Structure 1
Amino acid sequence: MIILKINYNKKIGKNNTGHIVLRHRKKGKKSLYIPIDSNYFNHINNNNLCIRLLGETSNDMYRNTKLILCIITKDDGVKEFRYILKPNKKSYGDFIKFFDKTNKSFGDVNCLNSFDINDKVYNIEFKPLINSKICTAAECNSILLNKIKNYIKIKLPSNKIKQLNNKCYAVYGNSEKLIVNSINKAGTKMSFGNRPKVRGSAMNACDHPHGGGEGKAPIGKKSIYSFKGKKVKGIKTVKTKNDCYK
């Protein structure tokens, strides 16, 4: 049995003692969380497998992509319903194919070794038989560059090159973006869990390193400081030594 919707407690940026650790957060509007199937139906290896798409949901507050409900019928006649990321150019009644090398269409699932060079894929596994983690955002995809023995080099959206195993699963194309209405008032942002942001120079001296002074006073320092008192300008923030996408 697959649970389609569950309760989810949002993070409000406070620790166990009640102190604020991450600012500008609140609980926001209550909504159910929809877990998606990032394991490709437990890695089924049938060559003639097709999944039928049933309908889509567009009111998910936790993602910027559309979700679609799909159904699969196993050999023993048992049907399973799961939510997946909606492929672009796919709609109700269409099918998603597994391991089809001849006719590639958006949403088809296959191993990285079966795709051609310069193909665009998304929802990629970091390691074989592990949930997909790469390129899961809306309209996000990677490009296959080269095939070397049992490994394949792909180009990520950040222009970094990553070498993966050729047995990792991926989806052809990209996912469809969720269309959100324009933000006409502050309450729409508050419903998503965002609190208003205040300038540091408008605070008191006890609340921020830039605070204090009469009227519109300058910050009184040579460089910009963060809320915790650390330097912000001219400091390296990326550690390429420990970066997993190097």
Structure 2
Amino acid sequence: MPLGTTIHNIEFKHGKGGQLARAAGARAKLIAKEGKSATLRLPSGEVRLISQNCLATVGQVGNVGVTRKSLGRAGSKCWLGKRPVVRGAAMNPVDHPHGGVKEKLQLEEKKPATPWGYPALGRKSRKRRKYSDSLILRRRK
């Protein structure tokens, strides 16, 4: 493929099947090729190396305007199988770490947490010494 080509449905490992840039409207760009590896700019903004043997599809994924579509009412969302989102502060303490406090501004005392008690909003969850760290040239924004 020539440099600057827009691609999607990219394999990590040859023969494993496409895993990168598969969402609606997603695309990656081929920046450089050197030796057995190619440099890609992924939809997240990350720049990483991929083997040149890996397969990909030329072009951008369709259905670009899926996020601009107005559902109109709550029932339309239910038909798509999307469950209602409930704030943790509206729950009981048994259901969520934020639950059970009567005042609205409760997160001044507590750290934001997931329903399972893990830190949320700003904590990095990636492993510090992951095997693929050497393949990432620039982290996502």
TM-score (normalised: structure 2): 0.72
Cα deviation for residue 166 of structure 1 reads 2.0
In angstroms, what is the RMSD of aligned CA positions?
A: 2.7
Structure 2 distance, partners of 1:233, 1:174, is 31
Structure 2 distance, partners of 1:116, 1:243, is 29
2:10 is matched with which residue: 95, 115, 124? 124
Cα deviation for residue 234 of structure 1 reads 5.0
**Is the Cα contact below 8 Å between 1:201 and 1:218 reproduced in 2?**
no
> In the TM superposition, what are the counterparts of 1:39-50 in structure 2 within 5 Å?
none
Structure 1 distance, partners of 2:15, 2:114, is 42
Partner residue, 1:150:
36
Asked if 1:199 corresponds to 2:53, the answer is no
Structure 1 distance, partners of 2:75, 2:25, is 27
Asked if 1:219 corresponds to 2:136, the answer is no
Partner residue, 2:60:
174
TM-score (normalised: structure 1): 0.45
Of Structure 1 and Structure 2, the greater helix share is in 2
- What percent identity do the matched residue pairs reach? 31
Structure 2 distance, partners of 1:205, 1:218, is 16
Kindly indicate whether structure 1 or structure 2 has the higher relative contact order, using CA contacts under 8 Å at least 6 residues apart: 2
Residues 241 and 159 (structure 1), Cα distance of their counterparts in 2 relative to 1, 3 Å cut? farther
**Is the Cα contact below 8 Å between 2:25 and 2:64 reproduced in 1?**
no
Q: Which runs of 5+ in 2 are unaligned?
A: 137-141
Partner residue, 1:31:
none
Partner residue, 1:63:
none
Q: Which runs of 5+ in 1 are unaligned?
A: 1-114
Structure 1 distance, partners of 2:53, 2:100, is 59
Q: Deviations over 1:46-96 (max 9, x none)?
A: xxxxxxxxxxxxxxxxxxxxxxxxxxxxxxxxxxxxxxxxxxxxxxxxxxx
Asked if 1:210 corresponds to 2:103, the answer is no
Residues 188 and 168 (structure 1), Cα distance of their counterparts in 2 relative to 1, 3 Å cut? same
